[in-house]
Amino acid sequence: MKNIVLIGMPGSGKSTLGVVLAKVLGYGFIDSDLIIEEEEGRLLHEIIAQDGIDGFMAIENRVNSSLQVEKKIIATGGSAVYGEEAMQHLKEIGTVVYLKWKLEELAGHLEDLTERGVVLKPGQDLKGLYEERCPLYEKYADLTVPCSGESVEDMVKQIVEALK
């Protein structure tokens, strides 16, 4: 099996679930946000503040497009779906799994979106972000996992079963 690429909203559990899924499958784990921070020598929110949203998304698209890995669980940033080249590349090197949550449940997982380095347009709130991104997650997903009310273990089981 190739890689498994996790996509979804900020706070959807991509990193948390990714680590557990990697252990269950015997894969390595990569958080693409951490690779971006390492390559840039800055935190996500610093990149957004200094380079703007478009600058950050160009960096994110470049980094995700250049990933050359095998047998890894790749947790992407929530905004990865804005990078068409990156998403095409990720689909080529792996199975894209969308962790789908209800908006109300996501809101309970998130505190300060700007501190997290979330790409928000001026005046955009979580609901606006959710409505803008969900169609993109659906577009790129090879597999959609409904996560509402599920434990991490249950979500991992769902993914493992669906990938068989």
Question: What are 73-82's pLDDT values in tens digits?
Answer: 999 998 999 9
DSSP 146: E
Question: What are 133-162's pLDDT values in tens digits?
Answer: 999 999 999 999 888 777 888 889 888 888
pLDDT at 114 over 60: no
Phi, then psi, of 7 in degrees rounded to 5: -125, 160
In which order are the strands placed within the sheet that holds 72-75? 28-31, 72-75, 3-7, 94-100, 143-146
pTM over 0.85: yes
- What does the longest C-alpha to C-alpha distance in the chain come to? 44
Residue ranges of domains in the chain, CATH in brackets: 3-163 (3.40.50.300)
Residue 159, Cβ density class (10 Å: 0-12 exposed, 13-18 middle, ≥19 buried): buried
Task: State how far the Cα of 122 lies from the Cα of 119, in Å rounded to an integer.
Answer: 10
